[in-house]
Structure formats: C-alpha cells, structure tokens
Amino acid sequence: MPSLGIYSDSSTAGKIASLLGSKGIEVHKEFEVNTVNPKNKEVISVKGGEKLNYSLLVAVPPHRGGQRFVKDSSSGGTTWAS
C-alpha cells in the first residue's frame, strides 16, 4: 500500500515535516505529476491542471514491485512474493 506521508512511520514523518517546514520547504504529498516545465520551473498536475512553482524539484517517479510479487485472487487480492 502506498504511503500518503513523507515517511511510512508517522512519528518520523512528523519530525521530517517539522524540519522541512522550519526551513520553508513545502511538501505536496498527493500531487500526481502530468508534466514538468523546467524553463518556467513549474510542475503541472494530472488532476485539474494545478500548477506549482519550484526552485528545486524533488519527486519520486511512479514505480511498482517486481514481477515476482503477484496478487492472489484466492486470498482476497493479497499480494504475495512468488
């Protein structure tokens, strides 16, 4: 299951969020990127075309587990390593 926070452990996530906030660094956790315009230093959302300006963009690209992880329909869709 994807983490909706900065870090999966909520205690650590809170500390990281406080540290970043104290340095004026904004975190946008649920922003699905459609395009990045490096010339204008803006990132544009898939949903509604929302635009955010940035000075330094740090983003995690879409990713998923390897092929050895499969969903087992007989167990209610639980993910297993094969």
Position with higher pLDDT, 62 vs 25:
25
The whole-model pTM stands at: 0.60
The arithmetic mean of pLDDT across residues 55-81, rounded, is 69
Q: What pLDDT sits at residue 1?
A: 42
Domain range annotation of the chain = 1-27, 31-62
**pLDDT tens-digit series, residues 27-54:** 888 888 999 999 999 999 998 889 999 9
Amino acid letter at 62? P
- Look at residue 11 and tell me whether its pLDDT is greater than 80: yes
Other residues' Cβ atoms within 10 Å of the Cβ of residue 43: 20
User: What own/partner pairs with CB < 8 Å and gap ≥ 24 does 74-80 have?
Assistant: none
Position with higher pLDDT, 61 vs 47:
47
